[in-house]
Amino acid sequence: MSDKRIYIFDTTLRDGEQVPGCKLNTRQKVEIARELERLGVDVIEAGFPISSPGDFESVEVIAKMVKDVTVCGLTRSVQKDIDVAADALRYAKRPRIHTGIGTSDSHIKYKFRSNREEIIERAVAAVKYAKRYVEDVEFYAEDAGRTDNEYLARVMEAVIKAGATVLNIPDTTGYCLPDEYGRKIKYLKENVKGIEKAILSTHCHNDLGLATANSIAGVQNGARQIECTINGVGERAGNTSLEEVVMIMRQQATLNFETNINTKMLKYMSELVSDKMGVPVQPNKAIVGANAFAHSSGIHQDGVIKKRETYEIINPLDVGVDQSAIVLTARSGRAALAYRAKEVGYNLTKDQLDLIYIDFLKLADKKKEVDEVDLQVLLSNRLVAVRA
Ligand code: KIV
Ligand code: ZN
């Protein structure tokens, strides 16, 4: 595989779904998994099989159904978890067990009441145990974002020796700054013996709004897999948003990365996940929010009507949005009003436009948005319009 290729590991059905209010049943998970496969993700993390019979069933059904994509199940570094995950994945064409343990001092001391050496032993034992079942074993070092780099490198070296194929470096608490996270990945690339045998993976949370920036810093410094979710759903402030990292890599040619994602499905996937989870997408969400391609101020509208690229860096068609929207508000100018009037069948002269614009502003000051029905009424009331 070329050095440009970045693998997209989708965890909408595991890290995204474990959030209160985002719970999905097996039927919903299977439907989303089918569409994730069409979208072109490389890995679907289908669930945490030991967590509940429902999650076990979801992983099992998805593993049977999906053909071209790796299906992954999460475990702790606990033998029973690994047994159950292996069982749920037994029909998968490409199974992956994702096992791991906390490596930051706070996790080691307070969560595990353990010490650094014992954590390495547990990590190695878990990877070796998972290797009895599957070839493809991903290891996560939970809270790697706050783990001292030297120790993290020792953990990684040990799990590679034990057979780990992918090394996940989660910024579990969303703590890192982009250059700090990037340096962590670089440090591992440069200091872990055997690193060339494994793929480094980013897994960033959005507590400081930096998940996307951190993931990109990760791949710029040698990671080759990004873990992310549709709409950025996930614990607390969420995970890295799939649509954001994919479009950054597509739009920014100097990064020189490529993914297998069919970007024309991004808007559809966002709506599908939002609908199934019952969680709305914020209107100003990058790429897929309702306002991502909507223009409401007069200056921007005038520019976009003259040439779309003046205020848009992405062609909406590339992410499955039919067209940019010119929204009529009290901040809109004559150019937008004439444009929208033409769309509903009125070709206004300059004088007609001046007249209608006065009516329009009066209405727009009272309403948040002048919609198509309002516009039709305004135009027909004035009787000054000429059918286009
Ligand atoms: O954020 C995290 O550390 C995780 C791991 C379980 C991979 O989700
Ligand atoms: Zn996570």
Domain termination site, one of 277, 310, 334: 277
| Same structural domain, 46 and 179 | yes
The pLDDT score that the predictor gives to residue 383 is: 59
| Same structural domain, 82 and 50 | yes
Which residues fall within 8 angstroms of residue 1, CB to CB, at 6 or more apart? none
Which residues fall within 8 angstroms of residue 249, CB to CB, at 6 or more apart? 6, 216, 219, 255, 257, 258, 259
- Ligand 1 close to Cβ of residue 15 (< 6 A): yes
CA nearest to 87, candidates 67, 62, 59, 65: 59
Which residue's CA is the nearest one to ligand 1's atom 7? 140
Which residue's CA is the nearest one to ligand 1's atom 8? 15
The pLDDT score that the predictor gives to residue 20 is: 85
| Same structural domain, 66 and 201 | yes
Residue type, 331: R
The pLDDT score that the predictor gives to residue 86 is: 98
The pLDDT score that the predictor gives to residue 2 is: 75
| Same structural domain, 60 and 175 | yes
Q: Please indicate, yes or no, if residue 2 is contained in any of the structural domains.
A: no
- Ligand 1 close to Cβ of residue 107 (< 6 A): no
Domain termination site, one of 222, 242, 277: 277
Query: Would you state the structure tokens that stand for residue 330, as one six-digit string?
Result: 């009290």
Structural domain count of the chain: 2
CATH number, domain with residue 129: 3.20.20.70
Q: Please indicate, yes or no, if residue 240 is contained in any of the structural domains.
A: yes
| Same structural domain, 309 and 260 | no
| Same structural domain, 302 and 272 | no
- Ligand 1 close to Cβ of residue 172 (< 6 A): yes
- Ligand 1 close to Cβ of residue 171 (< 6 A): no
Determine the angle formed by the axes of helices 116-131 and 79-88, rounding to 10 degrees: 30
**First CA to last CA distance, the chain:** 55
Query: Would you state the structure tokens that stand for residue 80, as one six-digit string?
Result: 């029973």
| Same structural domain, 181 and 271 | yes
Q: Please indicate, yes or no, if residue 287 is contained in any of the structural domains.
A: no
Q: Please indicate, yes or no, if residue 285 is contained in any of the structural domains.
A: no
Query: Would you state the structure tokens that stand for residue 237, as one six-digit string?
Result: 């402030």
- Ligand 1 close to Cβ of residue 206 (< 6 A): no
Contact criterion met (CB below 8 Å) for 127 and 80: no
CA nearest to 339, candidates 377, 381, 296, 291: 296
The pLDDT score that the predictor gives to residue 385 is: 44
The pLDDT score that the predictor gives to residue 388 is: 46
Chain position carrying tokens 């614990």: 235
Cβ neighbourhood burial of 193 (10 Å; 0-12, 13-18, 19+): exposed
| Same structural domain, 108 and 232 | yes
Looking at ligand 1, which atom is closest to the CA of residue 11?
8
Which residues fall within 8 angstroms of residue 48, CB to CB, at 6 or more apart? 14, 18, 55, 73, 74, 75
* pTM, two decimal places: 0.96
CATH number, domain with residue 375: 1.10.238
| Same structural domain, 272 and 351 | no
Which ligand is the nearest neighbour of the Cα of 48? Answer: 1
DSSP H or E stretch at residue 30: helix 26-39
Which residue's CA is the nearest one to ligand 1's atom 5? 142
Q: Please indicate, yes or no, if residue 181 is contained in any of the structural domains.
A: yes
| Same structural domain, 28 and 166 | yes
Sign of torsion over alpha carbons 145, 150, 153, 155:
negative
Residue range(s) defining the domain that contains residue 149: 7-277
| Same structural domain, 269 and 314 | no
| Same structural domain, 51 and 117 | yes
Domain termination site, one of 245, 277, 309: 277
Which residue's CA is the nearest one to ligand 1's atom 6? 142
Residues 360-369: contacts with CB under 8 Å, at least 24 apart: 360/328, 360/332, 361/330, 364/328, 364/329, 364/330, 364/332, 365/330, 368/329, 369/327, 369/328, 369/329
The pLDDT score that the predictor gives to residue 232 is: 98
- Alpha helices (H) in 144-297, listed in sequence order: 149-162, 178-191, 211-220, 242-251, 266-277
Q: How far apart are CA 69 and CA 38, in angstroms?
A: 10
Q: Please indicate, yes or no, if residue 136 is contained in any of the structural domains.
A: yes
245-291 tens-digit pLDDT? 999 999 999 999 999 999 999 999 999 999 999 999 999 999 999 99
Q: Please indicate, yes or no, if residue 188 is contained in any of the structural domains.
A: yes
Which ligand is the nearest neighbour of the Cα of 201? Answer: 1
Q: What are the average pLDDT values for consecutive 10-residue runs of the chain, which has 388 residues?
A: 90 94 95 98 98 97 97 98 98 98 98 98 98 98 98 98 98 98 98 98 98 98 98 97 98 98 98 97 98 96 96 97 96 97 94 95 96 95 58
Query: Would you state the structure tokens that stand for residue 168, as one six-digit string?
Result: 């996940």
Q: Please indicate, yes or no, if residue 383 is contained in any of the structural domains.
A: yes
